[in-house]
C-alpha cells in the first residue's frame, strides 16, 4: 500500500442537469468498475455520495447548508493512497468522478504531522 493518504472532495455544479439515461448509466458503471480494478491498491475508502442539504454549525449558531449561492457543491468524497501527489492525480484523473460536465475533484494530502 502506498505511503501517503489523500482526501478527495468531489464537486459538481449545483442544479445538475438531466439525469443520465440508462445507457449512460451502464457506461458509468462499467467505467467505475474498471477504475476500481485498475487502482484497487490505491483505493482506501470508496467514500460515498453526500445527501443534499445539511447544517452548518458554529459555536453559537446552526444554519442550513451548504450555501446555495456556491456554484459548485460538494457531492461526494473518497480516500485514496498514493506515493506522491502526482500519482494521486493520476488515480483521480482516471476516476469517473471527473468525467461529468462541471464536476471536479479536489485532492488534499492527509498530513502526517
Partner 1 sequence: MTDSIVEHFFRHEYGKLVAVLSRKVGVQYLALVEDAVQFALLSGVELWARKGQPENPSAWLYRVAHNQLVGELRQRQSRERILGEQGPTIEDTCEDAQVLLSDDFSDDMLRMLFVCCSEQIPHQSQLILALKILCGFSIQEIASRLFLTEANVYKRYSRAKKTFKTAPNLLAENLDKTYVKRIPAVHKVLYLLFTEGYLSSRSEYTVRQELCDEAVRLTAMLAKHRYGHVPETFALLALMYFHLARMASRQDDAGSLLLLHQQDRSLWCAAHIQQGVFWLEKSAQGNVFSRYHAEAGIVVEHCMAPSFQETRWDNIVSCYEVIEAAAPSPLHRLNRAIAIAQWQGAEAGLALLKDYSAPAWLLDSFHWNATLADLHYRAGNRALANNYREAALKAAPNAAQKALILSRWRMLDSG
How many secondary structure helices (H) and strands (E) does the chain include? 2, 6
CB of 51 to partner 1, least distance (A): 12
Please state, in angstroms and rounded to a whole number, the distance separating the CA atoms of residues 50 and 77.
Answer: 8
Closest CA to 72 of 17, 13, 16: 13
Cα 100 from Cα 98, distance rounded (Å): 6
Q: Is 33 in the site for partner 1 (CB under 8 A)?
A: yes
Stretch of 5-13, 29-37, 51-59, 105-113 contacting partner 1, by CB under 8 A: 29-37
The closest of 89, 106, 80 to 4, measured between CA atoms, is: 80
Q: Which of residues 58-97 bind partner 1 (CB under 8 A)?
A: 96
- The distance of closest approach from Cβ of residue 46 to partner 1 in the complex, given in angstroms and rounded to an integer, is 4
Characterize the bridge pairing of strands 104-109 and 54-57: unpaired
Cell of 3: 505511503
**Site membership for partner 1, residue 46 (CB under 8 A):** yes
Tell me: does residue 102 bind partner 1 (CB under 8 A): no
Task: Based on the shown chain and the rule CB under 8 A, indicate whether residue 47 belongs to the binding site for partner 1.
Answer: yes
Q: Is 52 in the site for partner 1 (CB under 8 A)?
A: no
**What residues make contact with partner 1 under the rule CB under 8 A?**
18-26, 28-29, 32-33, 36-37, 46-49, 96
Amino acid at each position: 500500500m502506498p505511503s501517503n493518504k489523500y482526501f478527495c472532495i468531489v464537486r459538481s455544479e449545483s442544479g445538475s442537469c438531466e439525469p443520465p439515461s440508462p445507457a449512460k448509466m451502464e457506461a458509468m458503471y462499467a467505467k467505475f468498475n474498471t477504475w476500481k480494478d485498475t487502482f484497487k491498491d490505491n483505493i482506501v475508502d470508496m467514500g460515498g455520495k453526500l445527501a443534499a442539504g445539511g447544517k452548518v454549525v458554529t459555536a453559537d449558531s446552526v444554519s442550513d447548508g451548504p450555501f446555495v449561492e456556491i456554484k459548485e457543491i460538494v457531492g461526494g468524497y473518497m480516500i485514496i493512497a498514493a506515493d506522491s501527489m502526482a500519482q494521486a492525480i493520476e488515480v483521480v484523473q482516471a476516476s469517473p468522478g471527473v468525467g461529468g460536465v462541471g464536476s471536479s475533484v479536489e485532492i488534499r494530502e492527509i498530513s502526517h504531522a
